[in-house]
Amino acid sequence: MCLKLPQPRFLNALFGLDCTITRNGSGNHAGPKVKSGEVGRRVSLKQGLFCSIQKVYSQLSSRRAYSLYKNAEGREQIAKAPSYNVVNVFLNREDVTPLLQNLLSLSAMPLKAVETDFAVDSSGFRTTCFGAYAEEKYSLQRVHKFIKAHAIIGVKTNVITGVEVLEGNSADSPQLPVLVERTVEGGFIAKEVSADKAYSGRSNIEAIHAVGGTPYIPFKSNASGKSRGSSLWRKAFFFFQLHADKFFQHYHKRSNVESVFGAVKKKFGETIKAKNPVAQKNELLCKLIAYNVTVLIQEMFELGIKPDFSAQEVGGGSQSSLMSRL
């Protein structure tokens, strides 16, 4: 496993992103009490988010990550370095999950003028937990449990515009309408959406057309052109049959989503360290936010963009925070 320390540019970008929580009026809300360290100490949402994403980025243990918090204190990005166990307690909070979802969407918004074509897929992330007691009792093969990230990405910059983190055996197809809707709510214009056969279904084709997009989803071998209440299904079926070459030129943009999952696992590890299901979900969201921040930094040099989160909306509130010191 490759361990790395967050670079100053990453920390500054993350600091600007987390400042939106403070501007939204929630950053000063007290976090959970922590028994270890200072008695009764609380951590703000902004500080908890900042330290959590830092720790996940570095892949360090809780105690070793304390040096990152001290470094952030020296840079005046947090008021005071919290106890080493604060992040573990913070990620166990269910109310943190929607904030992480909002931060992920916000981190992709600076690229909404660039991305118009999207791809959807899912990938599993291994946890450190094993299966049921019966596997141990009857000497069955022990298999690590895993959770699944259903993601939609822009195929030009490979930024993640929406994600759903669910159980490992969750179905892929029902998540597509949710991901497409979340992308459009983030200010993106979805002209094309590509996905593999697992997402082939009338409801998914209807959902993509509803936002003004064109679906490029191949049909299964047993599929027919019968509309069954969906004329768009019939139209897409015959386009797939009669113009296969043109179809696959668009469809193969879907390969980019495989590259995204590969990059996330290579950069930040494919293993989820948390034990609690809530913390596992939040830890994976932190990985994906950290990935989006690295994408933004890359596009600052390639496209010359200057990320600005002012006037963006997180959790329904207007923001007025600029990414400083970039």
Within this chain, do residues 233 and 293 fall inside the same structural domain, yes or no? Answer: no
Is 262 a member of any domain?
Answer: no
Within this chain, do residues 96 and 122 fall inside the same structural domain, yes or no? Answer: no
Within this chain, do residues 88 and 125 fall inside the same structural domain, yes or no? Answer: no
Within this chain, do residues 72 and 170 fall inside the same structural domain, yes or no? Answer: no
The domain containing residue 153 runs over which residues?
A: 115-257
If pLDDT is split at 50, 70 and 90, which confidence band does 176 have? very high
Query: How much is the pLDDT for 221?
Result: 87
Q: Is the pLDDT of residue 39 over 60?
A: no
Is 58 a member of any domain?
Answer: yes
Within this chain, do residues 150 and 172 fall inside the same structural domain, yes or no? Answer: yes
Summarised one tens digit per residue, pLDDT across range 236-247 is 999 999 999 999
Summarised one tens digit per residue, pLDDT across range 117-172 is 999 999 999 888 766 555 555 556 667 788 999 999 999 999 999 999 999 889 99
Within this chain, do residues 245 and 139 fall inside the same structural domain, yes or no? Answer: yes
94-98 LR contacts (CB < 8 Å, sep 24+): 94/278, 96/45, 96/48, 96/49, 96/282, 97/278, 97/281, 97/282, 97/285, 98/315
Within this chain, do residues 130 and 240 fall inside the same structural domain, yes or no? Answer: yes
Q: Is the pLDDT of residue 318 over 80?
A: no
d(CA 212, CA 209): 5
Within this chain, do residues 144 and 199 fall inside the same structural domain, yes or no? Answer: yes
Distance of CA 171 to the CA centre of its chain: 18
Is 271 a member of any domain?
Answer: no
d(CA 60, CA 4): 8
Expressed in percent and rounded to 5, the helix, strand and coil fractions of the chain are: 45, 15, 40
Is 89 a member of any domain?
Answer: yes
Within this chain, do residues 242 and 282 fall inside the same structural domain, yes or no? Answer: no
Within this chain, do residues 196 and 77 fall inside the same structural domain, yes or no? Answer: no
CATH number at residue 232: 3.30.420
Alpha helices in the chain (DSSP H): 8-23, 45-58, 66-74, 86-91, 96-108, 133-137, 176-185, 202-210, 231-242, 244-251, 255-268, 277-302
Within this chain, do residues 89 and 131 fall inside the same structural domain, yes or no? Answer: no
Is 249 a member of any domain?
Answer: yes
Query: Total structural domains in the chain?
Result: 2
Q: Is the pLDDT of residue 72 over 70?
A: yes
Within this chain, do residues 250 and 150 fall inside the same structural domain, yes or no? Answer: yes
d(CA 187, CA 113): 9
Kindly state the tokens that stand for 231: 């004329």
* Cα torsion through 78, 81, 82, 84, rounded to 10: 130
